[in-house]
Amino acid sequence: SQNYVAEQEGSSDVDTDETRRKSLRRSAIFASAGDSMEATAATAALLKEMNIGTVKDNDDDDYDLEGIENEEGGDEVGADSSARIEENQQIGDLSSTAGTVGNNDGGNPDARPLQAREEEKAVDAEGADGSENEPASDSAAARQDNVLASSYDLITGLLQAGDWPEKSYNVKRCTGLEVRQALLLWCREAIYIIDGFEQTDGEGLEGKINRLEKSHSTYYINLRPKEFVSVDPATDSSKGTSEWAGEVQVQQPETGDRRDAALAEKSKTKEKEASSEEITYHHRSQRIAFNDLYSVYRRRYQLQQIALEFYDVHRNGTLIAFSNNAEREEVLSKILSSPLPNSIFSSSTLGGSTSINYKKFMSSLRAKITNQWVQGRMTNFDFIMHLNSFAGRSYNDLTQYPVFPWVLADYDSDDIDLADPSVYRDLSKPMGAQGEVRAEQFRERYEALEGNYRNEDEPPPFHYGTHYSCAAYVLYYLMRLEPFSRLALSLQGGRFDVADRLFHNVGASWKSASTENLQDVREVIPEFFYLPEFLENKNMFDFGVTQLGKTVHHVTLPPWAKGDPRRFIRINRQALESEYVSKNLHKWADLIFGYKQRGREAIAALNTFVHVTYEGQVDLENIKDPIQRDSIIAQIQNFGQTPSRLERKPFPPRNVATAVKEKSIDFSALSSLSALTAPFCIVGAPHRVYLRVTMWETCRVGMAGQADSSVGDMCLVKGQLVGVGKTCALILPSKKYYRFGGPNNGVSVHVATMSARYREVNRVLSIHDGMHRAPISVAKPSLNGLWLVTGCMDSTVRVWKYDGHNVKLQATLCGHEGGHITCIDVSTTFGTIVSGDADGNILVWDLRTLTFLRQLTSGTSSVLSLSSSAAPEHAVSASINHKNGNILTLVGSRVSLFDINGSLLATHNSEEDFDAHSKPSCAVATDCPEWMEEGIVAVTGHVNGDVRMWGLGYDNKQLIMRHVIPDKVHTCPITAMRVSGDRQDTLLVGDKSGKMSVCKTLQLEALNQQELSVIVQEMRTGKSGELQYDEGNKNISGGSLKD
């Protein structure tokens, strides 16, 4: 989820639909959140047995000199039920290790296992410190020279040909709570960030470079098997047993008194300290080419303006802290003066100079985003994320994590009505002033401190001694997910906190922060509005038992959530986007980011905190006393940091419009409702889905040599429909296409549409032979055109980077058995690849690490043995929702929808409703957010030419058909579909005969008076009828509600 901010705020057009990015994972959160230890261990064992994994074919920039040894041997786990976990490991997530165990070259004679290539590339850690095989007569100086020479060799070995450091900077890489010393090397076409080195003098590499040791931390945890989930442990009579899951021992706790005694005994166990003689190093290298740089932002580190955050075009974020502000500004100025063709700054001409005026650019961008929100063209969630980013908050820094408001105040009712204002918290007041009694206590505290401040040499007065956001609160909420579980352990001295103080009940946390606890004024985090996994203990950690005898396991939800984390997230997000919050959100923004953050307005609003939480109140550089300096840094790091103030005047309120009135429709309000309208739903009447064919063409591009006229891909170029044959794939946003499937076992790049540069359609631009050892069966470019994923007849999948001229192999993914690859999709937003084969297997891969994640199955488990899930019907389609990461699959005639963690959300077996002449022939996912309950999540094309649109039934986990496009343009099997349009209101359809069509959602302005009357009546009564399209009269009429 860390990549959301860069992706959203960076675009000059500001695409503001929900991302999860966002979030993430597109991330370690999503990669590990869905797997329990038991399931992960089974997957790891299966991968090792079947040699499934990755063969990387290029030099990987990220490596750990000790990682190879750890993967081979692992850490020994003693008989004690606690598991010893090193700092750089993820508890409960073995996928990163499993994904690289494969040594099948996938048909590439040059492919080598990752271990072998890294051993050739890196210097062995033991030998590099100059201590091994060294004559006893060597002096200490000679040993030091060897260390320096080794450091030089290691660094130069990481640089690509043509790169040479012109200047170097000592920096700190910040990831969560972890801070690693690193070198930033400035080269002509890129910057490098290399962990584990420190330069003491000289420029570039012309100086002394010290190699830093890798730190170790030891944690002890208890893991609970799935079958041991008891609200009252005293009632469970099962016996304690041990299981093994990968490298982690899973101990089923004893029950009753024996269990409590065992936990008490284990709590006395001392942590083992790493031997002082055991020296290891960790040197992660990252290259950010200026051609790949998407955005760069000024950030704070320890309340000092000394940090930068980089995002590349693949949305990977890196937070770097410099030694001082001058170095930060020097690097930023050099970056903004460099060619950045793919960045958000590329089209900026502010100031009329070649160098970008950063402050003016960001000010203009913030004004544009605020204006979009005010006009209703941006969701409340996206607006808050933008404010957090502009104020210096980042997913990469837990001490400055994005802050979100508590929205609801009712966590006790069985049902909740979001139209009732009484269910919401007062957004005009901070958490400490939600109740008048509580507010008066804080007011009295401030007055007392103010008196002392005037009379004595005391710190400035404040209302709250704690803060609404700090690292401990973030880990409090996210402790059930990796890597936050490990970070929570590190913050608590290696063990989880006392059970009663852990996050175990949403309603109890709200009461503590709003009324009951004077030390608690915390707000919430973004995950409350898009990530249900953080509420579930899927990694089966043993958090202990409360004083009331309740086992802390999954988070207890409000009654209106019906025990379903997804329902809680969905309702909470709907509340955030509600009319009440939309009308009052600017008041909360004034408190956190605006004019009520400081000064007299903050005092009047009961909104002041300890002075060291504010930027500019402490100058660390001028504090000479190391004890005082460390004390202030500790307070800044552990007790919260107030965001940078963005406005000194009130934020403007949002224009909240309603299109459908009591007896009329306000067409001027439609433009402000589009952001809250799901794909293919009518703006102003989101309960309605109706599409009409507006254009049809015959596909003629890329057809030469095909056995039939099937359409393979389509897009709209300046309003014109462009399509290519079934052995072709369009490269967006360029006007080119790949052609594959030939005997050259490669692809060729052709012209798709005429332009000033290319006036001949189908012209060959480049040919790339020998990309596989057999013909390519499917090729899928990423939406930004920078990646290409190919599937082969020999069941291998390969990942390539495309720079507009050449393709460069990144990895060969081996996991499919026997059956050739039939479908692929790739999402750079979530860093995910999905591939399907002729045996019906659907596998998910991590695009960033190029490793295996999981197999999808429509059964009860998301991770099963490959051999047990083989299906006689092949995988027809796999499609990713680029806004929330959901994955749509069509295997045989079964359509299934999964979340990014592999959990089955809904399914539909078409054999129950359709015969052989009308079964699905292809399927595509929309980018519909899950919280929009009335949206279309999937579209299927059928053998008889039907195009059907599906919604998600949350209660019965079924895909529900909501609409069939009435215009019968296609009469043969649908072979390709693409969802298009800024609001995803356009559907492109192609069939086996080569016919293509464009279907667009109807707009209210296009309906006649009778049709509008039907809409108004439905909005008033809450009942929806069917809009029946009369082909003869070109009108739509209302009908009865269908079952």
Give the helix/strand (H/E) hosting 1013: helix 1009-1021
Quick one: 842 and 776 in the same domain?
yes
pLDDT of 537 higher than 80? yes
Residue 872: pLDDT band with limits 50, 70, 90? low
The reported pLDDT for the residue numbered 663 is 59
Quick one: 1029 and 934 in the same domain?
no
Domain boundary residue, one of 639, 672, 701? 639
Residue 8: pLDDT band with limits 50, 70, 90? very low
Question: Which range has the worst mean pLDDT, 590-599, 710-719, 782-791, 862-871?
Answer: 862-871
The reported pLDDT for the residue numbered 270 is 37
The reported pLDDT for the residue numbered 247 is 31
Residue 128: pLDDT band with limits 50, 70, 90? very low
Specify if 333 maps to a domain: yes
Q: Classify burial at 969, counting beta carbons within 10 Å of its beta carbon; exposed 0-12, middle 13-18, buried 19 or more.
A: middle
Question: Residues 198-246: pLDDT tens digits?
Answer: 888 766 667 677 877 766 556 666 776 655 444 333 333 333 322 223 2
CB 294 within 8 A of CB 307: no
DSSP state of 515: I
Quick one: 55 and 173 in the same domain?
no
CB 441 within 8 A of CB 560: no
pLDDT of 458 higher than 80? no
CATH number, position 823: 2.130.10.10
The reported pLDDT for the residue numbered 738 is 95
Token pair, residue 104, equals: 């099948």
The reported pLDDT for the residue numbered 705 is 72
Average pLDDT over residues 111-122: 34
792 vs 242 pLDDT, higher one: 792
pLDDT of 105 higher than 50? no
Question: Residues 808-855: pLDDT tens digits?
Answer: 999 999 999 878 999 999 999 999 999 999 999 999 999 989 999 999
CA 471 from centre of chain: 19
Average pLDDT over residues 401-428: 96
Quick one: 341 and 443 in the same domain?
no
Q: Is 204 left (phi over 0), alpha (psi -120 to 50) or beta?
A: left
Quick one: 954 and 883 in the same domain?
yes
The reported pLDDT for the residue numbered 469 is 96
The reported pLDDT for the residue numbered 602 is 96
Average pLDDT over residues 1013-1021: 68
> Quick one: which of 313, 11, 18, 2 has its CA closest to 927?
18
pLDDT of 651 higher than 70? yes
Q: Can you spell out the DSSP letters for 99-117?
A: TT-----TT-TT---HHHH
Quick one: 236 and 293 in the same domain?
no
For residue 558, the tally of other CB atoms under 10 A from its CB is 22
pLDDT of 727 higher than 70? yes
DSSP state of 745: S
Please give the sequence-ordered ranges of beta strands (E in DSSP) within 710-775, or none if there are none: 711-717, 720-725, 728-731, 736-739, 747-751, 764-768
Q: Can you spell out the DSSP letters for 272-314?
A: PPPPTT------BEEEEETTTEEEEEEEEETTEEEEEEEEETT
Token pair, residue 487, equals: 């970070």
Residue 858: pLDDT band with limits 50, 70, 90? confident
Quick one: 875 and 809 in the same domain?
yes
Give the helix/strand (H/E) hosting 338: none
Specify if 494 maps to a domain: yes
Question: Which range has the worst mean pLDDT, 13-27, 257-271, 703-717?
Answer: 13-27
Quick one: 189 and 168 in the same domain?
yes
Specify if 86 maps to a domain: yes
Average pLDDT over residues 704-718: 86
Quick one: 1014 and 993 in the same domain?
no
pLDDT of 61 higher than 80? no
Quick one: 610 and 731 in the same domain?
no
Residue 545: pLDDT band with limits 50, 70, 90? very high
CA 928 from centre of chain: 16
Question: Which range has the worst mean pLDDT, 453-467, 498-512, 651-665, 957-971?
Answer: 651-665
Specify if 136 maps to a domain: no
Q: How far apart are CA 175 and CA 394, in angstroms?
A: 10
Mean pLDDT (the chain) is: 78
Quick one: 756 and 830 in the same domain?
yes
Q: Can you spell out the DSSP letters for 905-936?
A: EEEEEGGGT--TTTSEEEEEE----TT-TTS-
942 vs 1033 pLDDT, higher one: 942
Specify if 1026 maps to a domain: yes
Q: Classify burial at 380, counting beta carbons within 10 Å of its beta carbon; exposed 0-12, middle 13-18, buried 19 or more.
A: buried
The reported pLDDT for the residue numbered 966 is 87
CATH number, position 319: 2.30.29.30
Quick one: 605 and 538 in the same domain?
yes
The reported pLDDT for the residue numbered 204 is 65
The reported pLDDT for the residue numbered 226 is 55
Question: Which range has the worst mean pLDDT, 34-38, 50-54, 195-199, 302-306?
Answer: 34-38
Average pLDDT over residues 345-363: 72
Q: Can you spell out the DSSP letters for 45-83?
A: HHHHHHT-EEEE-S--SB--TTHHHHHHH-----SSSS-
Question: Residues 903-926: pLDDT tens digits?
Answer: 999 998 766 677 778 899 999 999
The reported pLDDT for the residue numbered 543 is 93
pLDDT of 144 higher than 70? no
Q: How far apart are CA 336 and CA 627, in angstroms?
A: 38
For residue 451, the tally of other CB atoms under 10 A from its CB is 12
Average pLDDT over residues 602-615: 94
Q: What percent of the chain has pLDDT over 70?
A: 72
Residue 88: pLDDT band with limits 50, 70, 90? very low
Residue 731: pLDDT band with limits 50, 70, 90? very high
Q: How far apart are CA 752 and CA 765, in angstroms?
A: 11
pLDDT of 472 higher than 60? yes
Specify if 668 maps to a domain: no
Domain that holds residue 308: 151-216+281-347
pLDDT of 807 higher than 90? yes
Residue 297: pLDDT band with limits 50, 70, 90? very high
Q: Rounded to the nearest 10 degrees, what angle do helices 380-390 and 579-592 cross at? A: 10
- The count of structural domains within the chain is 5
CATH number, position 560: 1.10.1540.10
Domain boundary residue, one of 611, 639, 667? 639
Specify if 273 maps to a domain: no
CB 379 within 8 A of CB 660: no
The reported pLDDT for the residue numbered 623 is 84
Q: How far apart are CA 541 and CA 486, in angstroms?
A: 11
Q: What percent of the chain has pLDDT over 90?
A: 50
Question: Which range has the worst mean pLDDT, 12-21, 656-665, 1006-1015?
Answer: 12-21
Specify if 647 maps to a domain: no
The reported pLDDT for the residue numbered 397 is 94
Domain boundary residue, one of 619, 639, 659? 639
Q: How far apart are CA 538 and CA 226, in angstroms?
A: 8
The reported pLDDT for the residue numbered 12 is 36
The reported pLDDT for the residue numbered 910 is 62
683 vs 539 pLDDT, higher one: 539
747 vs 657 pLDDT, higher one: 747
